[in-house]
Chains A and B, each alone.
Chain A
Amino acid sequence: MNLIKMLLAASCLWVGAALADPPPGYPFVGYDAGLKAARASGKPIFMYFGRYGCAWCDHTNKKTFSDAALKKLYTENYELVYVDAESGKRLTLPSGERITEAELGVRLQAFATPLFVYLTPQGDKIVQIPGFKTVQDFRDYDRYVRGGHYKQKTLLEFLGGKS
């Protein structure tokens, strides 16, 4: 029993060290593992591009990702990827290029965190959205992505048309 507790504690510590600040309780994984899982499952990827110690990430985690229904929606329908904006941890892009997590921010032209990026199961970007968002925002983005509306409309066009 003690061994199990120690292993669980070590696991939590490792997750904390490697993944910085994803919302607690969500099964976020690294970029490579998430892309692999998405290719296998066919689910789109929801990528949380956060920064260690980021106040707006913390705010989003507490105000939005604490919602149990949202957690269920995103956990069941997406492969969840967390990327640390300042990390030197390496990842492999769909092109085969190996870069650091921080360099991914350069490629995304990230200017603020949190940044939320929706990707196809093959890793192609659908849309990226910066800053604090509400539960309803994430429900709208989910309809846009999983409903396939991104193939015909921009996100703004889609949101402008919602009743």
Chain B
Amino acid sequence: MRAAALLLAVLAWPAQAAWEWSAPLTVNSVQGAAIFPHLESANRQGVAVSGDTVGVVWEDNRSGSPQCYLAMKPATAAAFKPEIRLSQADCFEPVVLALGAGRFVTAWEEAGTVHARVLPGGTVLQLTQAEAAQVTLAIRGDALYAAWAEQAGRFRRIVVARLTVNADALGVKTAQPVEAAMPADEQGWPALAVAGDGSVTVAWEDRRSRHTVPMVSHSRDGRSFSPPVRLTDIESGSAPGGLGAGTGAMRPTLTARGEQGVVAVWLDKRDFLSGYDVFAAIDTGNRRFGKNIRVQDNFGDNMAQWHALVVGDARGRLVALWDDARDGTPDVWLSEWEGEAFGDDVAVPGAAGPGGQSDPVATFDAAGSLHVVWLERGETAGTRIRYAHAERN
């Protein structure tokens, strides 16, 4: 028994040694059995670090209707400040991005259109007049972009906008659909990344092939986009007998990585009997994604993975996170790119163990620390939004 424990400790050592985690903190100041916070958003952008300030956004129903909130904390502080309410009407799927020096830009869906605001200070800018949802943001230098899914006839399509920031005021410089033609089926859940060369990559869910396929397009200038191609290397097609249209894949996320790279991670049901798996594809800089790579290790094989995302940084670090219940209850898992493949899955301490820990969002700060936020569901006390950061040692 002791030998088995020693063996397990030795096997686990390389992964455990990789990240040194802070003690988790609670982000949301109001909890209750009938209050339901959500961290869902396009590209899962629920946390950002701007200078020495951490910002977290979410939606909950504490006021009796779904509203969006931002909580901030100096990096060294032991607690988050009371949250700021961002919205006035029903609000969903907020995102946050660092502008630097403690400033953030946030965006969200409110009353059927998408809005954005610089914080602290700033006023709300309504980004669309048309019905729109699932907004996301990306920045490189002073080039700030937003993307969202906007109603165009019967279906939604993806629109990309270049935004301007003057002090605390946001503006829309340009906004145009990725494709000029009207959508042939539903499009949604866009993800954006701005690479080191300034080019913009946008990925989204697309149903033009009569099943859900993550598609991707690039733009050198943020205005003219290449014809979309699929992220998945599984072709569409019916099963024998003309059944169906293809396997499912959903919720693509993107991150810029290194000098020129862009990496995508999504949920993929090509193995349709074991739920969604986490898959990735890497664009090293030629604006073409390589072969699909399965992210989670074999211990996650017969288990559905959920809420996957990818985060990278300019130094080349690359981490995928998700939740699954391989140990009996949902835990947050992390896998780091090791040059040729993703490494062993590591449970995030504080986001694993008894109870349910799920819905991770994450970001790297400028110094390379990893910041992770997740939901911790309690039976009676309600759901807490939890935060921890980790240093690579």
Binding site for B on A (CB under 8 A): 13-14, 17, 51-59, 62, 85-86, 88, 90, 95-100, 102-103, 106, 109-113
Binding site for A on B (CB under 8 A): 34, 36, 38, 40, 61, 66, 92, 133-134, 154-155, 185-186, 188-189, 205, 207, 209-212, 236, 238-239, 241, 243-248, 250-251, 269, 272-275, 303-304, 306-307, 325, 358
Chain A residues within an 8 Å CB radius of B245: 52-53, 55
Give the residue name and chain of the A residue nearest to B156 (CB). A88
- How far apart are the CA atoms of A76 and B210 in the complex, in Å? 31
Indicate which residue in A54, A86, A98, A112 contacts B244 across the interface (CB closer than 8 Å): A54
CB distance from A108 to the nearest CB of B (A): 10
Q: Is the CB of B248 within 8 A of A17?
A: no
Chain B residues within an 8 Å CB radius of A95: 34, 36
- How far apart are the CA atoms of A62 and B244 in the complex, in Å? 11
Give the residue name and chain of the A residue nearest to B65 (CB). A98
Given the known interface contacts A86-B205, A103-B40, the answer about A58 and B273 at a Cβ–Cβ threshold of 8 Å is: no
- How far apart are the CA atoms of A59 and B243 in the complex, in Å? 6
- How far apart are the CA atoms of A99 and B34 in the complex, in Å? 14
- How far apart are the CA atoms of A143 and B241 in the complex, in Å? 32
Known: A52-B210, A53-B211, A98-B61. 11 other contacts (CB 8 A): A52-B211, A53-B245, A53-B248, A54-B248, A55-B245, A86-B250, A97-B36, A98-B36, A106-B304, A109-B325, A113-B272
Q: Is the CB of A88 within 8 A of B325?
A: no
CB distance from B334 to the nearest CB of A (A): 19
- How far apart are the CA atoms of A30 and B16 in the complex, in Å? 45
CB distance from A119 to the nearest CB of B (A): 20
Chain A residues within an 8 Å CB radius of B210: 52-53
CB distance from A149 to the nearest CB of B (A): 29
Select the residue from B186, B189, B241, B244 with max chain A CB neighbours within 10 A.
Answer: B244
Select the residue from A13, A57, A86, A112 with max chain B CB neighbours within 10 A.
Answer: A86
Given the known interface contacts A59-B241, A97-B36, A100-B40, the answer about A111 and B274 at a Cβ–Cβ threshold of 8 Å is: yes
Q: Is the CB of A102 within 8 A of B186?
A: no
- How far apart are the CA atoms of A130 and B273 in the complex, in Å? 10
Indicate which residue in A13, A52, A109 contacts B212 across the interface (CB closer than 8 Å): A52
- How far apart are the CA atoms of A98 and B35 in the complex, in Å? 10
Give the residue name and chain of the B residue nearest to A59 (CB). B243
Chain A residues within an 8 Å CB radius of B251: 102
Chain B residues within an 8 Å CB radius of A97: 36, 61
Q: Is the CB of A53 within 8 A of B244?
A: yes
* 14 residue pairs bridging A and B, Cβ less than 8 Å apart: A51-B212, A51-B248, A52-B210, A53-B211, A58-B244, A59-B239, A86-B248, A96-B34, A98-B61, A98-B66, A109-B325, A111-B303, A111-B304, A113-B272
- How far apart are the CA atoms of A111 and B306 in the complex, in Å? 11
Given the known interface contacts A52-B211, A53-B212, A53-B248, the answer about A112 and B34 at a Cβ–Cβ threshold of 8 Å is: no
- How far apart are the CA atoms of A62 and B209 in the complex, in Å? 21
- How far apart are the CA atoms of A97 and B133 in the complex, in Å? 19
CB distance from A90 to the nearest CB of B (A): 8
Chain B residues within an 8 Å CB radius of A110: 275, 304
- How far apart are the CA atoms of A126 and B78 in the complex, in Å? 45
Q: Is the CB of A112 within 8 A of B61?
A: no
Select the residue from A17, A58, A85, A106 with max chain B CB neighbours within 10 A.
Answer: A106
Q: Is the CB of A88 within 8 A of B243?
A: no
Q: Is the CB of B154 within 8 A of A86?
A: no
CB distance from A8 to the nearest CB of B (A): 15
Q: Is the CB of B273 within 8 A of A112?
A: yes
Select the residue from A53, A58, A96, A103 with max chain B CB neighbours within 10 A.
Answer: A53
- How far apart are the CA atoms of A62 and B238 in the complex, in Å? 14
Chain A residues within an 8 Å CB radius of B66: 98
Q: Is the CB of A88 within 8 A of B189?
A: yes
CB distance from A111 to the nearest CB of B (A): 4
- How far apart are the CA atoms of A85 and B248 in the complex, in Å? 9
Chain A residues within an 8 Å CB radius of B92: 90
Give the residue name and chain of the A residue nearest to B64 (CB). A96
CB distance from B382 to the nearest CB of A (A): 11
CB distance from B272 to the nearest CB of A (A): 6
Indicate which residue in A86, A99, A113 contacts B38 across the interface (CB closer than 8 Å): A99
Q: Is the CB of B244 within 8 A of A55?
A: yes
Chain B residues within an 8 Å CB radius of A103: 40
Give the residue name and chain of the A residue nearest to B242 (CB). A58
CB distance from B330 to the nearest CB of A (A): 8
- How far apart are the CA atoms of A104 and B239 in the complex, in Å? 26
Chain A residues within an 8 Å CB radius of B154: 13-14, 17
Chain B residues within an 8 Å CB radius of A88: 133-134, 188-189
Please provide the 3 A-B residue pairs with the shortest distance between their CB atoms, ordered closest to farther.
A53-B211, A55-B244, A53-B245
Q: Is the CB of A106 within 8 A of B244?
A: no
Given the known interface contacts A86-B248, A88-B133, A96-B61, the answer about A17 and B155 at a Cβ–Cβ threshold of 8 Å is: yes
